[in-house]
Amino acid sequence: MLRPRITPCLLVHEGGLVKTVRFRDPTYVGDPINAVRIFNEKESDELVVLDIDATANGVAPDFAMIANLAAECRMPLCYGGGVTTVEQAKKIISLGVEKVALSAAAVADPALISAISDAVGRQSTVVVIDVRKRTLGGKFDVYTHNGTRKAGGTAIEFAAAMEAAGAGEIVLNSIDRDGTMKGYDVALARQLRAAVNIPISILGGAGSLDDIEELVREIGVIGAVAGSLFVFKGRYRAVLINYPQPGAKEELVQRAMKR
């Protein structure tokens, strides 16, 4: 039975763990392996790791880093960054990673999603859609390469196309809310939920557990993904890897699902 998931998202930049604000100004917050160990101890539902250098620099995934992360991780792991071929996706899965995420490559070649889905399974094929709201009209455009390149079409249309191509999950990432800790875009999440039938996750804006509870209460079974919330603590954003205790997490989900 599917249930809401609360998922930390780790950004890797130049080998270190960083956090951005609106995809800019990466701040170093620690070592990725150490963060994985802490999330193991805290019994995180799953973990998303995105290498934000790979696609931007046009390089292949760092398989040695991925192998080290997978060997340490005791929860389902999703990796994204630099994946452009079926062979790369298969290798990542062979290293012990449960899901492979694509973004720019999915925009450039939607058929690649079908091929990867056939090769590693639909449940292991994730598309991350980075979106920014238009100044006029209220629609959301798709961006790639760390928010520097605008793609064609709208976010919701693209999500539906990715489901049709074979994606098993959509992660919708708000550039506007990234690192702001001002809450998820629940209205956008509702649009996505109405447009696709596969599992969805929302990333960008979570600043408290109340934000996660609101997202689950309004959308239902969804992945609540967060970066800043799980690497910072307090109004001064002191670096502290954290995650709700199992009992508190279950209470949050139960309250939200009683909507």
Residue 152 near residue 108, CB atoms below 8 Å: no
d(CA 192, CA 86): 27
CB 116 within 8 A of CB 86: yes
Q: Which two tokens stand for residue 201?
A: 């996750």
Q: Where are the beta strands (DSSP E) in 103-197?
A: 125-133, 140-144, 149-154, 169-174
**Which residue is catalytic, options 51, 62, 130, 178?**
130
Distance of CA 75 to the CA centre of its chain: 15
CA 226/CA 66 separation, integer angstroms: 20
The answer to whether 176 is a known catalytic residue is no
Q: Which residues of 189-206 are buried (b: 16+ CB within 10 A; e: fewer)?
A: bebbbebbebbbbbbbbb
| Phi and psi torsions of 210, nearest 5° | -60, -35
CB count in 10 Å sphere of residue 234? 7
Residue positions annotated with a catalytic role: 130
